Structure 1
Amino acid sequence: MFGWLFSSASCPVTNDEKRGIEEGFSWLASVQGVERLRTATTILPTTEFFPASYEETPEEVENLKNLVASYMGVVPGRVVVQFYSDNDPVHAVDDCKTALDANRPADGRIEIWLEESIARDPLLLVASLAVEIAFVLLKDDCQLEQEQGAMMVFAEMLTVFLGLGILTANESVKESTGRVGNVYWWSMSRGSSLSLNAYGYTLAIYTLARGESRPTWASHLRGDVAGAMRQAIRYLQQTSDCSFPHLIATPL
């Protein structure tokens, strides 16, 4: 009657995604050290880590930048944030590239460019800052050379590795609803290189590498990512089918 409680769990990602995430996390552990992952503070979208209010002033944008940088182990003064408009033809031609390849300073500073509308949403701003800082850390500090799409996948995985995965996973898809007269509408846009299930699998590796099979912070994740993470944790606990060599055995 209750056989479903003990049924085999399936992996929530494709074989290619699974291999890419495990290889990516293994590489990050070799470069950053697995203790960096295990001792990272898991950053939550709460007032414990971020201000209770946000007014989109330059000072508050700077404050969020400083917080994100410090949580990632980067000296805040090293990060310079610039904003551009989609109406700027220069950046439009570059497909809104973030100046991580162009105009990068030679003095070790991390200069990142974000579309100006991002500053209106503090959670999206925090997630965008984390991914873009991670991108430059990989390119400049770790000397990682991959094509743009692969680099963004690595950057998003690095945010998870450093404890900011809840923030980037929650903002990987933006949903909005509205009403015009008697018509209700819903839309969804992706701003991420990792799928929602891939975020769930990556977070499962993060938590199992820390010996946390039932992390309390899961309640802060968007539901679809939290579900994929729980499924992945159960799958990995049942099968040990993971090439990442630093998982800690945890009870089912």
Structure 2
Amino acid sequence: MALFTSPCPVNVREQKWIEESLAWLRTAFGEPRAVITDLADDDVVGRLCQLMDVDPKTITVELYGDSAEDDLARAAGLTVRSRGAAGHYRRENGRPVIAIDRTLTSTRLVATVAHELGHVRLDGRYDGDDQEPLTDLLTVHFGLGVFSANACFDFSQDQRRRQVRRLGYLTEPMYGYALACHAHSRGERRPAWAGQLDVNPRAYLKRGLRHLRRT
């Protein structure tokens, strides 16, 4: 019988957490949203607030960060590894404040802002120890998982240096399976947006969809 099964791209513990967490998010925030793959850079915060049902007038957005040290390291041909926080969330005098690294661009910017807005949505609703990974999973529920999955791991290398960048709390296999569950719940057997995923998340998505169809 093993010949007719398709292995899940994540382990049993991760599979259980993803499935149960997505079910909770569905109960808390309604039906999973259609996946978005294109977002203009001119008003990322405003557009994401709209997509995630956050009133922009109720939050404060701060920018921080300086890329000068990384630039010096790259100029010297050194490896640059970044696991530092690309964003922060806090409450100040009862008002949500999201702080975003000003050096972020494109996919990483969208993923970071979506994650921090996820904190706004979860604040007061959930206080479990897994709030950070759940906030990443929330971006999948609101249709922004392609950005989060593509931003979670990035590796580049040339003759002088290499750069490894990680973002968020979920792995590529976890994003792949979460997106598979998302598509499955929406009745998308072959989601058109899968082509916008990077190679690894796309492969895990396909494995996840095969697993869900056969089990």
On whether the aligned pair clears a TM of 0.5, the verdict is: yes
RMSD over aligned CA atoms reads 2.2
Q: Which residue in 2 is equivalent to 1:28?
A: 25
Of 50, 56, 66 in structure 1, the residue corresponding to residue 40 of structure 2 is 50
- 1:127 and 2:130 are equivalent in the alignment: no
The SS at the match of 2:123 is helix
Of the three residues 100, 104, 121, the one matched with 2:92 is 104
State the match for 1:229 in structure 2.
205
Q: Identify the residue that residue 54 of structure 1 maps to in structure 2.
A: none
List 4+ stretches of structure 1 deviating above 6 A. Answer: none
Q: Relative to structure 1, is the Cα distance of residues 10 and 83 closer, same or farther in structure 2, using a 3 angstrom cutoff?
A: same
CA contact under 8 A between 1:64 and 1:126: conserved in structure 2? yes
CA distance in 1, matches of 2:181, 2:86: 30
- The Cα of 1:29 is off from its aligned counterpart by 1.4
Counterparts of 1:69-108 in structure 2, within 5 Å, are 69-85=49-65, 98-101=87-90, 103-106=91-94
Higher relative contact order (CA 8 A, sep 6+): 2
SS in 1 for 2:103: helix
Letter in 1 for 2:60: V
How many residues align? The count is 197
Identical amino acids, percent of aligned pairs? 27
Give me the TM-score of the superposition, normalised by structure 2: 0.83
Letter in 2 for 1:14: N
Q: Distance in 2 between matches of 1:13 and 1:105?
A: 41
Q: Within 5 Å, give how 1:1-252 maps onto structure 2.
A: 7-33=4-30, 36-37=31-32, 40-44=33-37, 46=38, 49-51=39-41, 60=42, 63-85=43-65, 98-101=87-90, 103-106=91-94, 109-118=95-104, 121-140=105-124, 142=125, 144-147=126-129, 150-180=130-160, 185-239=161-215
Q: Report the Cα distance in structure 1 between the residues aligned to 2:86 and 2:140, rounded to whole angstroms.
A: 22
The verdict on how the C-alpha distance between 1:99 and 1:238 changes in structure 2, with shifts beyond 3 A counting, is closer
CA contact (8 A) 1:67 1:76 kept: no
Does structure 2 conserve the Cα–Cα contact (< 8 Å) formed by 1:176 and 1:187? Answer: yes
Contact 2:54 2:121 in 1 (8 A): no
Give the match's secondary structure for 1:100: strand
Asked if the contact 1:105/1:111 (under 8 Å) is kept, the reply is no
Q: Report the CA distance between 1:173 and its aligned residue.
A: 1.0
Matched letter for residue 35 of structure 2: T
TM-score, scaled relative to structure 1: 0.72
Q: Verify the 8 A CA contact 2:111 2:148 in the aligned structure 1.
A: yes
Give, in whole Å, the separation in 1 of the partners of 2:138 and 2:209.
19
Q: Is the 8 A contact 2:86 2:112 kept in 1?
A: no
